Amino acid sequence: MSSEHHAREQLTAKAQMHRALRFLLDQQHTSKQCSRFATCDLDTLDDWYAMTALKTMLCARTAEPFLPLDIKEAIDTALAYDLASRAQVSALDINPILPRRLTDRESGKHQSGPSISVWKGDITTIRDCTAIVNAANSQMLGCFIPGHKCIDNAIHTSAGPQLREACYALMEEQGCLEAEGQAKVTPGYNLNSKYVIHTVGPQMSRGSVPTVEQAKMLADCYRSCLQAAEELPVPDSGRKVLVFCSISTGIFGFPSAEACSIAVRTVLECFSHHCDSTITDVVFDVFSESDLDLYRHRLSELSYDDGKSPGVVFPAGEQHIVKLYDSPSIQIARTIIREADYLILSAGAGLSASTGLDYTSADLFSKHLPGFKKYGFRCLYDVFGFQSWPSEQARWSYFMNHLIIVRDWPQQELYSNLWRTISTRFAGDAGDDRYFVRTSNADGLFVRHGFPASRVSTPQGHYAQLQCIRKCRKDAVFDAAPYIAAAEPHLDPITQHLPADFPVPTCPYCNSNLDLCVRGGSYFNDHPFRQKEQDYRGFCERALESSANKVVILEIGVGMSTPSVLRWHNEDLVEESEGRIKLVRVGRDAAGSCPFDLMEQGYGVGTQGDIPDILAAIMGSSF
């Protein structure tokens, strides 16, 4: 090993990522994508933003010129950290709907065949698979639009730039665009999967009906991928697992129901004619709940002799919730929590969003607040700071409807599990419990699910209260319940608005407007929440009184919307305590991303993914 290579190995993951970023910034300094990050100070840039910058520039970068080996190695290091922080599942833990035992209709003999299963999730996080299928375009070079939600982009982003280089080499050798219905194989590079099988499906106008030729072309994609997988070596485990994405159903516009039928029928027909297949397992990976239902229904139908199935009968299996792969990050998080004497539960918007109360959801807004879409609102977040109400009655109508949604939000198993597990595990003597909740959520769900109000701090406010918008007095804060009770009978069930002559309440002290007592601008009155913040600081001091005490911050769903409130505060606590306080970070995307330095020092760990699944994995059997 050269001294230069050894020196590169000694660099931290963060330093490797910054090294790759500086190279790309220098190389692409005139590009539009690069300009977003050109003025950033990498030394102070949050690791999540740095990783986003790296992925953005790699996505927009052409295959040529090929990257130097040392830069590829630096990128590989960063992507390995990124993948390790994402919740993953093993393909072998996905319970098949059609097991590996099948019966020939004509002979009645039993024979082995591949298991068939369906799973909803990120295809790049499936472990123990031999190959995954990529729905490519005819250029075969991946997607060049950073952040685009297509499967092509997801696979290339996780695999790294070597995948684009490999595809480029294949296309240069071929000398023409890739035809529909074919398949090409490349290594998987930084993916869990050892190989990627690329295929180009038929493209059509969304909403149109597939022609016979388009249906045949889609079936050819599945046949070609199966043939390509047959030619791959059988792993030492003896399990050759092929994971299909939903080819052509994304931006290529093929209707999901027809695509599902073609996929299932084609795959099963192929296996019915090739009983000696080396493929042992097939997983159909889908993106949406509706697609999941389509595949479950179609596969379950095949347990019946309906005359439409191929020449085999499959007994239907029972679909179950897939447990997460017990990755090092999951194990570390579990150990930190198990060994902790005190727990700080730090919760952001991602926690409530995981129970459906998602302030970024257009579907939630359309379902609960259709009468307010005419103002241009798309989601609950859009309303904060809005000043162009046509009348005070319209403004008050929205507030009352919003508060009713929060008041009536149903009990959630996730919060109940948190309360049961934490109150049992960190119960103290004589009411001196060894946990404290600090949350930016103003919905009151912690208290509603059993957490004592004395152990919950909400520095961003609370929807249970209204305040004087002028903050005329520090105690000009009022219980919202009587105001809701007065307005609710007068809300029109269709328009969701109050009558034009409804007397909108004002501050009883100064006659100014009332507003939600939630931080949304300089008007926010934080006085009612200061005592709980003081209680929280006192809890932290008591937890650290003994040098033997171990403290964990379980941070759930805290992203980058208001990082100074919880996220950066938590990181500062960990760093200042020199590891006596450790951080377990859980959530989607940024909310599950822990700084590289904290991970390398053993001070923290992050897991990106579905919050209930991750908590079930790290909190133990009682969760």
In the numeric block, which tokens belong to residue 137? 């375009």
Average pLDDT over residues 255-281: 93
In 3-state terms the chain splits into helix, strand, coil percentages (rounded to 5) of 40, 15, 40
pLDDT for residue 513 is more than 60? yes
102 compared with 228, residue with greater pLDDT: 228
Interaxial angle between packed helices 3-10 and 69-84, expressed in degrees from 0 to 180 and rounded to the nearest 10? 30
Is 468 annotated in some ligand binding site? yes
pLDDT (tens digit, 9 = 90+) per residue, 443-470?
A: 999 999 999 999 999 999 999 999 999 9
Give the model's pLDDT for residue 241: 98
pLDDT (tens digit, 9 = 90+) per residue, 538-562?
A: 999 999 999 999 999 999 999 998 8
CA distances from 343 to 235, 261, 433, 554, 609 (A): 43, 50, 10, 7, 22
Q: What confidence category does residue 191 fall into, taking pLDDT thresholds of 50, 70 and 90?
A: very high
- The CATH code for residues 89-313 is 3.40.220.10
Q: What confidence category does residue 109 fall into, taking pLDDT thresholds of 50, 70 and 90?
A: low
In what side-by-side order are the strands of the sheet with 312-313? Answer: 110-112, 101-104, 312-313
Average pLDDT over residues 35-56: 83
- Phi/psi at 231 (5° precision): -80, -5
**Residue 344 class from Cβ within 10 Å (0-12 exposed, 13-18 middle, 19+ buried)?**
buried
Average pLDDT over residues 213-222: 97
Q: What is the 3-state secondary structure (H, E, C) of 294-335?
A: HHHHHHHHCCCCCCCCCCEECCCCCCCCCCCCCCHHHHHHHH
Is 225 annotated in some ligand binding site? no
pLDDT for residue 334 is more than 50? yes
Intervals of CATH 3.40.220.10 along the chain: 89-313
Average pLDDT over residues 252-274: 93
- Write down the mean pLDDT value for the chain: 91
Q: What confidence category does residue 37 fall into, taking pLDDT thresholds of 50, 70 and 90?
A: low
Is 517 annotated in some ligand binding site? yes
Average pLDDT over residues 598-610: 96
pLDDT for residue 576 is more than 90? yes
pLDDT cut 90: percent of the chain above it = 82
pLDDT (tens digit, 9 = 90+) per residue, 376-425?
A: 999 999 998 899 999 999 999 999 999 999 999 999 999 999 999 999 99
Give the model's pLDDT for residue 484: 98
Alpha-carbon distance 363 to 207, whole Å?
Answer: 21
Give the model's pLDDT for residue 8: 47
Yes or no: domain 326-357+409-459+528-623 corresponds to CATH 3.40.50.1220? yes
Q: What confidence category does residue 300 fall into, taking pLDDT thresholds of 50, 70 and 90?
A: confident
Q: What confidence category does residue 534 fall into, taking pLDDT thresholds of 50, 70 and 90?
A: very high
Average pLDDT over residues 361-383: 96
Average pLDDT over residues 347-375: 97
The structure's pTM equals 0.90
Alpha-carbon distance 332 to 582, whole Å?
Answer: 11
pLDDT for residue 322 is more than 90? no
CA distances from 121 to 94, 96, 617 (A): 12, 16, 17
Is 472 annotated in some ligand binding site? yes
Cβ 459 vs Cβ 533: under 8 Å? yes
Intervals of CATH 3.40.50.1220 along the chain: 326-357+409-459+528-623
Give the model's pLDDT for residue 620: 78
pLDDT for residue 587 is more than 60? yes
Average pLDDT over residues 296-323: 55
Average pLDDT over residues 424-444: 89
Give the model's pLDDT for residue 130: 98
Cβ 110 vs Cβ 312: under 8 Å? no
**Close Cβ partners of 62 (under 8 Å, ≥ 6 residues apart):** 141
In what side-by-side order are the strands of the sheet with 115-120? Answer: 115-120, 281-286, 241-244, 131-136, 195-200, 184-187
- Three-state DSSP state, 584: strand
Average pLDDT over residues 55-71: 95
